[in-house]
Amino acid sequence: MEMIIFYFLIFCIGSVFGSFFTLAVYRIPLHKDITHERSFCPNCHHKLSFWDMIPILSYIFLRGKCRYCGQKIRIRYLLLEVCAGVVFLLFAVSLNIQKLQVDKWFYLIFGLLYMAGLFIIAGIDKEKHSVSKPVVLYEVIIVSMHMLYLCVLEQTNIYRYVIYLTFILICNILEIFYYKKHLKSNYLLETLSLLLIMAVFTYEIGAILTVIFMLFAIAFATLLQKLKRVMIKYKKENRNILKDFPIAFYLCIGNIIAMLVMNFYTCGWYQ
């Protein structure tokens, strides 16, 4: 019974984070405050009350419309809240936590904070085709804190982390030079830095699985797009598909799936 309540709370926490993700994805590219300024309707700009922002339930009770102007709310807000809740729940379940397993409790905390950054990076990349540097910095901080925990309390070898952090630093230096020369960010270097951060947190096997699951996700999404075009008899335009392809978005999806798969395997669920 205690674990059921615990998992229910994890789902609720995930849905609350999902509500925050929608706000962060909208405001961070606009360089707006994401912590102190109250949420508002993007149509009528009326500030939302507490009852308007209850994850999942508010959308259902308001029938997907703004309470003040009646404007329809995009269903993606509901889907993101549900998805975040489910992912957080699966992550907690995958660890198969027992009461006295302190290491798993710490990994649960770091893992949820880490995945929160992945959700925001994926959302911004999907909307703007850009890897948010502030959120990447947040991920570096979370990964560094996890690294210090492993090195100090669990006596993990630090040299592996130093090597990866050095490569991340090199990528960022190259990106700075590229920005000074072209006055724009290099998307591939940003994505490579993100993959290196993932390798630090989920290890090499996690990075390999991330790329594999990313390719599966891209293939699945491409198939759905083709089916949609066939159904509506859409004529494909001649354009460079890779130019605006959200690689980081699918990379984040692949990394989350890889973490869940590895957790379910290493924590004995396969038995």
pTM: 0.89
Phi, psi angles (nearest 5°) of residue 211? -65, -40
- Evaluate whether 16 touches 8 at the Cβ level (below 8 Å): no
Q: Which of 187, 171, 194, 165 minimizes the C-alpha distance to 253?
A: 194
Q: Report d(CA 153, CA 252) in Å as an integer.
A: 28
Query: How high is the pLDDT of residue 233?
Result: 63
Q: Report d(CA 125, CA 248) in Å as an integer.
A: 6
Query: How high is the pLDDT of residue 37?
Result: 78
Query: How high is the pLDDT of residue 117?
Result: 96
- Evaluate whether 138 touches 193 at the Cβ level (below 8 Å): no
Q: Report d(CA 35, CA 80) in Å as an integer.
A: 19
Record the tokens describing residue 269, joined without a space. 């669920």
Q: ∠ CA(170), CA(115), CA(222), 5° rounding?
A: 85
Q: Where are the beta strands (DSSP E) in the chain?
A: none
pLDDT mean for each 10 residues of the chain (271 residues)? 87 94 90 81 79 85 83 86 95 86 90 96 92 93 91 80 88 85 84 93 93 94 83 58 78 96 78 48
In the block, tokens 């959700």 appear at 119
Length of the chain, please? 271
